[in-house]
Amino acid sequence: MQRQEKQKWLGFLLVLLLVMGSTTNVFQQFSQFPHEIRLFQGEWKQLPLSMPVTADVSDPGILHITESDQAQNSGNSHHPLTFFTKTAGKTWLTVRLFGTFPIKKVQVQVYPKLKVIPGGQSIGVKLRSKGVIVVGHHRVQTGGYQVKSPAETADIRVGDYLVELNGQPVRRVEDVSNVVEKSGMKPIRVTLLRDGKRKTTTIQAERDVKDQRYRLGLYIRDSAAGVGTLTFFDPKQHVYGALGHVVTDLDTGHPILVGDGKIVESNVTSIQKGESGEPGEKRAIFFQENQVLGNIKQNTPFGIFGQMEKIPDNGKYNKPIPIALSDQVKEGPAKILTVVEGQKVEEYNIEIVHVIKQKYPATKGLIIRVTDPRLLQKTGGIVQGMSGSPIIQDGKLIGAVTHVFVNDPTSGYGTFIEWMLQDAGVIQSTAATDDRSRFFIVGIYRSAH
């Protein structure tokens, strides 16, 4: 009985200490301690701490902790932890209170030194989908009355991708027409993609009395085209990134699954100026379409990516510059590179008004405002076709323009270049973080997107 009473009071005391501690700077500092640290090779990092801690690292060949800090922090003095990145790789940092109690395990990702060439060039994007995308249904008239769409009856939905008909690959709209005409009233085996999963079904076409052709009752599309901006080119791996956001189908709003595609040069012919409630746009034409700049291999939330075959020769930068990781970006002045006339890339002033701290890749990382009078006079701010325009701060490529605020065309969103480089395969992805990133409170253990 006495033992239970003692445990009860100890538990109460522990809760009281935690509640009181949560209001202190120490607790708040600890709660904000990063679960992951990302750095470049050859960089110093200092973690200011108001508690006596030491740290050990799982791979000292990647990360070196200065011994003087370890010695000072093992007592009651409160010194920052300082460490140096030696080589690229991933390691784990275990932080110990009083040099004994493990209170935090942090993943440290060290990237090799990296420089890329910022873009800013206007590009034409020609994208073919993986199969054909279903963008709508229509009824088929079969002798005086309309019947329900055969495809709708077969549970073929808007947003599905038709990839095979009767075992034959479907790559173009014409492939569907050919199979339907040959099959007539015979059932057709359909293989489709829905939410990334393959499904099979059977459909039977109906003969349309208007033109005596067999129809499935579907509206389908196999391609998309538009204008955007090149963000970067990596001269070592010969890969590029552009747009800064996903390409979606015009009717369904769904991301387009890439079959193949290419980027070509684009010439800006005029600008429709942006106004409140009415986003502006670049009007442009594809230029020298037979001279392909690169292919399109990926269409992700952070843009389009592929292999670069030809570097546009109208860039503002012809040499690589460093990049900044997301936690190195700060509020304040910056510049963007973009084209507003012809093919000339120009530099314009902007202000980064807010940096959204992100532990994991997310598309909206920056809120930016155009401050350059020249750009405001020409475009009214951010316009369609400007997405992908590189953002440069303190001589480093930090991100890309992605969206405009409809009610305020001078402002919009940007994404961090770090996430684009991950999708391009230039740096290692951190999206699937190992679940060993945890925190500890005096023997109480809990796992910590």
Per-domain residue ranges for the chain? 33-114+434-447, 117-125+224-424, 139-216
CA 129 – CA 224 distance, rounded (Å): 8
Kindly report the pTM of this predicted structure: 0.83
pLDDT digits (tens, 9 = 90+) for 251-266: 888 899 999 999 999 9
DSSP letter string over 402-438? EEEETTEEEEEEEEEHHHHHHHHTSS---SS--TT-E
Confirm or reject CATH 3.40.50.720 for domain 33-114+434-447, answering yes or no.
no
Q: Would you call 35 a catalytic residue per the annotation? A: no
Question: C-alpha angle 283/392/424, rounded to 5°?
Answer: 75
Q: Would you call 245 a catalytic residue per the annotation? A: yes
DSSP letter string over 174-224? HHHHHHHHHHTTS-EEEEEEETTEEEEEEE--EEETTTTEEE-SEEEEEEE
How high is the pLDDT of residue 438? Answer: 34
Provide the terminal-to-terminal Cα distance of the chain, rounded to the nearest Å: 44
Q: Which of 387, 389, 403, 411 is catalytic?
A: 387
How high is the pLDDT of residue 73? Answer: 45
Q: Which residues contact 121 (CB under 8 A, 6 or more apart)?
A: 229, 230, 265, 266, 312, 314, 315, 339, 343, 345
How high is the pLDDT of residue 411? Answer: 95
Q: Which of 234, 245, 266, 326 is catalytic?
A: 245
Q: Which of 59, 251, 260, 372 is catalytic?
A: 372
How high is the pLDDT of residue 24? Answer: 55
How high is the pLDDT of residue 277? Answer: 87
Residues of the chain with pLDDT under 70: 1-33, 49-51, 67-79, 144, 430-449
In eight-state DSSP terms, residue 305 is E
139-216 CATH, one of 2.60.120.10, 2.30.110.10, 3.20.20.140, 2.30.42.10: 2.30.42.10
CA 38 – CA 433 distance, rounded (Å): 12
Q: Would you call 387 a catalytic residue per the annotation? A: yes
What are the backbone angles phi and psi of residue 372, rounded to the nearest 5°?
-75, 120
Q: Does residue 12 sit in helix, strand or coil?
A: helix
How high is the pLDDT of residue 442? Answer: 30
117-125+224-424 CATH, one of 2.40.10.120, 1.10.10.10, 3.40.50.720, 3.90.260.10: 2.40.10.120
CA 152 – CA 143 distance, rounded (Å): 19
